[in-house]
Amino acid sequence: MSEQDQRDTSAERFLRLVQAKRRGTLKIYLGLAAGVGKTYRMLQEAHDLHQHDVDVLLGYVETHGRPGTVAELKNVPLMPRKHIFYKGRALEEMDLEGITQRRPQVVIVDELAHSNVPGSRHEKRWQDVEFLVAQGISVITAVNVQHLESLHDQVLKITGTDVTERIPDRLLKQADEVVNVDLTVGELRARLEEGKIYDRAKVPTALANFFQAENLLQLRRLAVREVAQLLGHQVESDAGGAPAVLPARRNDDRLLACINSNDQAAKEIIRKASRLADRFGAAAWYVLYVQTGRETADRIELATQRHLLNNLQLATELGAQILRVKDDDIVGAIRRVAQEKNATLLICGITSKKGLWSPLARRGVTNDLLRVVAHTKQELDVYLVSY
């Protein structure tokens, strides 16, 4: 089958999805890094849909001046960008209202993780996409794997880059189709060296930092694993819930992630719990915050309160149920909640030091919790997240 025939088949399959639903259909092109060809693939699909007499609109496309991508803008209707004045500057954004009024069958929306200019209808572009889908407009969009919220800590360790623009994992789970746009590490670095991704002046810095071969290899593995996992869930769903592959644990698992007001530790625990819940196909997962008398509103710093609320919001976005209890006996409260929720896995944080797990050598909440779990009759495992 030729490449054109494959694209025609893809376009026809997506068109069937569009016609089968009242809500818009969501398709996401996922890549390991900039330059793998996500935008080019979206534009190719836009042309194919257009040839099938689908009312398709280019809502927002970022070409980065790449000649091959720019060439693909021809012949498909393009929505002019909206100009927003912010701090004395005219900035361009996607015209969400214009797209909604135009009501195409399908709209192409690039840069899914983009943060909108303050004053826009939504803070993030992924929220624009959710809005469009809810309005019955189908969306084809693109994002790189490092922008997934639950992978933030892994990406930081791999690349040393703190990715600030992120999307909640639920977007991929809610998508009707996720396509991995893959390139080998050698091919991607060659494209970079040829000036096909960034201006040539930026190439040496990119090669020495984010685009190191080992970084790209690990990001590629993350992208492949993410799409494979999503496909596995889709197969199970299409088969009426019968698992295609036996999960590592029973799918009636209930995970309980325990956090405190430590901002960074809580983030890492929440993200890890989200990944585990998804991997295990958990029936439910919870995030528990035990507020002691030392952490009442009049005794805790405002910055700490703000971080805590942000972390609880993060947990909600990732699909957790939030539990807040007041108790000076933290271990007792965790044990009680674990019993009430029939938890099968506790996820707790532990500070790692060079060469040893120092908190296990002295008394502390995690240490005391391990002692209690060891003597409980409840079937309960503990997963420790180091930070």
The vertex-384 CA angle with 249 and 292, nearest 5°, equals: 115
pLDDT band at 82 (very low <50, low <70, confident <90, very high): very high
Residue 173 is encoded by which pair of tokens? 């789970």
DSSP bridge pairs for 290: 325
pLDDT band at 357 (very low <50, low <70, confident <90, very high): very low
The vertex-316 CA angle with 314 and 318, nearest 5°, equals: 70
pLDDT band at 234 (very low <50, low <70, confident <90, very high): low
Tokens 């893809």 appear where? Answer: 10
Lowest mean pLDDT among 119-123, 254-258, 371-375: 371-375
The pTM assigned to this predicted structure is: 0.78
Angle, helices 302-317 vs 263-280, to 10°: value is 10
Q: What is the mean pLDDT of residues 196-206?
A: 92
Average pLDDT, the chain: 87
pLDDT tens-digit map of 216-228: 999 999 999 999 8
Residue 366 is encoded by which pair of tokens? 């995690």
Which of helix, strand or coil describes residue 123? Answer: coil
What pLDDT, on a 0 to 100 scale, did the predictor assign at position 245? 41
pLDDT band at 370 (very low <50, low <70, confident <90, very high): confident
The neighbour count for residue 78, using CB atoms within 10 Å, is: 13
pLDDT tens-digit map of 262-284: 888 999 999 999 999 988 888 89
Domains of the chain, earliest start first: 3-238 (3.40.50.300), 254-386 (3.40.50.620)
Residue 87 is encoded by which pair of tokens? 């701090």
Contact 106, 49 (CB under 8 A): yes
pLDDT tens-digit map of 129-164: 999 999 999 999 999 999 999 999 999 999 999 999
pLDDT tens-digit map of 291-301: 988 888 778 88
Q: What is the mean pLDDT of residues 340-355?
A: 79
Residue 283 is encoded by which pair of tokens? 């029936």
Contact 138, 106 (CB under 8 A): yes
In one-letter notation, the amino acid at residue 122 is H
CA distance 320 to 284: 8
Residue 168 is encoded by which pair of tokens? 């909640």
Tokens 């909600």 appear where? Answer: 316
Contact 185, 213 (CB under 8 A): yes
Residue 88 is encoded by which pair of tokens? 């004395």
